[in-house]
Amino acid sequence: MKIATKYHGEKEIQEKEVITFPQAIPGFPEEKEFVLLPLDEEGQFIVLQSVGNQQLAFVLSNPFTFFQEYDFTLEDYIVELLELESEEDILVFSILTVHDPFEKTTANLQAPVVINSEKNIAKQVILNEPNYHTKHPLFEKSKPILVKG
């Protein structure tokens, strides 16, 4: 099937590539089907593109690439929701807030996107970890940006 994308124009995707968020991504209750599309040749940055909404696309990265100490445990209900049977089936991504210049881009470590790569079921998980925030600088070894709101 063909979908219109924010960064890749019109793209041909296979039904088996569609990732379903049974509980939707917080803030986007109507959008439950997405696809992963590479953003760079190295595969370091990926777009989580809505299948039904061309303008809804999140830039992602593997948090372990930038934050080797990143670690968390999934609660049992999330393991059940995602139908996880093996650690090898888990993909973890951070949603990035892309800035200009790109070196000021931040990663949301407080709410990773967790995907069962075998069944293409996903959830954005909200962690209750005091050391993880929504704006960790990707390229600087400085403290996360705290936004009051």
Residue with tokens 């986007």: 28
In degrees and rounded to multiples of 5, residue 14 shows phi and psi of -95, 150
* Cβ-Cβ contacts under 8 Å for 137 (sequence gap 6 or more): 104, 105, 106, 144, 145
* Closest to 106 measured CA to CA, from 148, 72, 145: 145
Average confidence (pLDDT) over 20-40? 95
CA torsion through residues 71, 75, 80, 86, sign = positive
pTM score > 0.85 for this model?
yes
Q: What percent of the chain has pLDDT over 90?
A: 88
Q: pLDDT tens digits for 62-96?
A: 999 999 999 999 999 999 999 999 999 999 999 99
The residue type of 98 is: V
Phi, psi angle pair for 106, to nearest 5°: -120, 160
**To the nearest whole number, what is the mean pLDDT of the chain?**
92
Write the DSSP string, 64-111: HHH-TT------HHHHHHTT---GGGEEEEEEEE--SSGGG-EEEEEE
Q: Say if residue 149's pLDDT is above 50.
A: no
Hey, what domains does the chain have and what are their CATH numbers? 2-137 (2.30.290.10)
Rg (CA), the chain: 15
Give me the pLDDT at residue 147, please.
52
Q: What is the pLDDT of residues 108-146, one digit of tens each?
A: 999 999 999 999 999 999 999 999 999 999 986 545 555
Count of Cβ atoms closer than 10 Å to residue 115 Cβ: 24
